[in-house]
């Protein structure tokens, strides 16, 4: 934590130096020497953002890997302790007794591969790791898992009423014929991830549960966040940065005020205030690191910088008074017509899971190379459900 705080303080100091340099010239042409200094500070700023992201990820890894072993977590419950200890033994050697091989495997008999079924606590810890690493799962509306259906449908209003008219006390109303509803559907799609681990490593790792959990968590988290940002919805979640009538249409795109290569203060304010007031309270920004670097230099009409970097642990950076989420998976190509940011209320992005992560252990498939496969599967879907709650920032 101390290192992360130091990095954030260093970034704040560098930001002030960049601002001082910009104020020194106030739009005038810089000297060649100061141009070089400015370029170096830009590079250092990007590097610091990288180090901050890396340190945050490492802290999460250490948190996951430093959790107590399964048997200790289950202390006080002999049955759970025995089951988790057996599960850990299966992860190490392929069977709970380390010596027996069974020809017939069945789920309802623990000694005949039943121990391969991860205890419920193990699955929940994997999901928790994903939640911590993927900010969209923290901020979006994650629906209860589907249990008795293959998909989830919900009604959506596609057109409002349009029949009100002024008249006298005897005026007959005109019956409305424009109010209309449609249906949107979530259909969780399967996703799979695998880890190939040497048996020697498995035997010597003190807490194999934490190793497998942390690796799966980071792998799946990256795939999920990529889908929540730029997924096309054809075989998985529909992303925020994909124009679609089933998600956020092009009518929510805002490019006015931006150039072909840069976001501008006027363009971002136009995007911000394109949202109705009822969505402003919970609205947040999403940018890539390149986007954050660009908006860190923007000023308002009074010459005041709009970006406020956080120097307090647990507090987000702010832009125009709203939290900034910096994602490695948000678009970062700054050319004509590209999406480079988003402003909106992320509770209007819905995520629907059909099941939590399931773990399979394949001991024999790679036996010739002294390795074991660990396979994780998840079924999930996601999409924006209320276009009016979002404004996509687009270059001119």
Dihedral class, residue 26 (left if φ above 0, else alpha if ψ from -120 to 50, else beta): left
The domain spans of the chain are: 119-159+176-288+327-396
**Beta-bridge partner residues of 198:** 371
Strand, helix or coil for residue 354:
strand
Is residue 10 within 8 Å of 288, Cβ to Cβ? no
Q: Which two tokens stand for residue 343?
A: 């402003």
pLDDT for position 71: 42
Number of Cβ within 10 Å of residue 260's Cβ equals 12
The pLDDT of residue 79: 62
Q: How far apart are CA 154 and CA 241, in angstroms?
A: 23
- β-strand partners of 196: 373
Sign, CA torsion 330/332/338/340: positive
- For CA atoms 80, 83, 88, 91, the dihedral sign is negative
Distance CA 266, CA 69 (A): 54
What is the tens place of the pLDDT at every residue in 265-279?
Answer: 999 999 999 999 999
Instruction: Tokens for 394, please give them.
Output: 């687009």
Q: What angle do CA 51, 56, 61 make, to 5 degrees?
A: 120
The confidence score (pLDDT) of residue 171 equals 85
Q: How far apart (Å, rounded) are the C-alpha atoms in residues 377 and 366?
A: 19
Residue 352: other Cβ atoms inside 10 A: 23
* Residues 224-251: tens digit of each pLDDT: 999 999 999 988 999 999 999 889 999 9
Question: Hey, what are 35's tokens?
Answer: 């141009």
- Alpha-carbon torsion (141, 145, 151, 157), positive or negative: negative
Q: What local confidence, expressed as pLDDT, does residue 113 receive?
A: 44
pLDDT per residue as tens, the chain (396 positions) = 678 888 888 888 888 888 888 888 877 888 888 888 888 888 888 888 888 877 877 776 666 555 444 444 445 556 666 666 666 666 665 555 554 444 454 445 555 445 555 666 666 666 667 666 678 988 999 988 887 777 777 676 667 788 788 888 888 888 888 877 666 678 899 998 888 888 888 777 777 777 777 788 788 888 999 999 999 998 899 999 999 988 999 999 999 999 999 999 999 999 999 999 999 999 999 999 999 999 988 988 778 888 888 877 778 899 999 999 999 999 999 999 999 999 999 999 999 988 777 778 888 888 888 888 888 888 999 999 999 999 999 999
- Determine the pLDDT at residue 1: 67
Within 4-125, strands assigned E span none
* Fold type of domain 119-159+176-288+327-396: Major capsid protein gp5 fold (3.30.2400)
């Amino acid at each position: 934590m101390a290192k992360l705080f130091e990095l954030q303080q260093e970034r704040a100091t560098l930001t002030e130096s960049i601002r001082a340099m910009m104020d020194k010239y106030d739009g005038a042409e810089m000297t060649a020497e100061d141009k070089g200094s400015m370029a170096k500070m830009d590079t250092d700023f990007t590097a610091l953002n990288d180090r901050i992201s890396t340190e945050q990820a490492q802290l999460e890894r250490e948190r996951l890997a430093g959790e107590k072993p399964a048997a200790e977590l289950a202390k006080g419950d002999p049955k759970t302790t025995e089951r988790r200890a057996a599960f850990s033994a299966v992860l190490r050697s392929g069977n709970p007794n380390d010596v027996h091989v069974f020809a017939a495997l069945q789920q309802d008999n623990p000694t005949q591969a039943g121990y391969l079924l991860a205890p419920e606590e193990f699955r929940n810890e994997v999901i928790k790791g994903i939640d911590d690493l993927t900010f969209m799962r923290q901020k979006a509306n994650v629906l209860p898992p589907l249990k008795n259906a293959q998909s989830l449908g919900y009604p959506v209003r596609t057109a409002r009423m349009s029949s009100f008219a002024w008249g006298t006390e005897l005026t007959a109303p005109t019956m409305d014929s424009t109010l209309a509803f449609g249906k949107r559907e979530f259909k969780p799609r399967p996703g799979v991830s695998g880890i190939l681990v040497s048996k020697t490593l498995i035997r010597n790792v003190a807490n194999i549960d934490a190793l497998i959990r942390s690796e799966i968590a980071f792998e799946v988290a990256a795939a999920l966040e990529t889908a929540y940002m730029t997924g096309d919805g054809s075989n998985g979640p529909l992303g925020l940065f994909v124009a679609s009538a089933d998600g956020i249409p092009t009518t929510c795109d805002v490019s006015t005020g931006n150039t072909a290569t840069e976001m501008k203060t006027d363009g971002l304010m136009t995007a911000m205030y394109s949202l109705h007031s009822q969505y402003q309270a919970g609205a947040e920004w999403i940018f890539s690191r390149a986007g954050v670097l660009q908006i860190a230099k923007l000023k308002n009409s009074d010459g005041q910088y709009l970006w406020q970097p956080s120097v307090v642990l647990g507090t987000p950076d702010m832009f125009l008074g709203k939290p900034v989420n910096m994602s490695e998976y948000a678009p970062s190509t700054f050319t004509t017509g590209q999406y480079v940011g988003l402003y909106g209320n992320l509770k209007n992005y819905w995520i629907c899971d059909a099941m939590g992560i399931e773990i399979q252990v394949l001991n024999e498939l790679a036996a010739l190379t002294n390795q074991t496969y660990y396979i994780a599967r998840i079924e999930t879907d996601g999409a924006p459900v209320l276009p009016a709650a979002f404004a996509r920032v687009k270059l001119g």
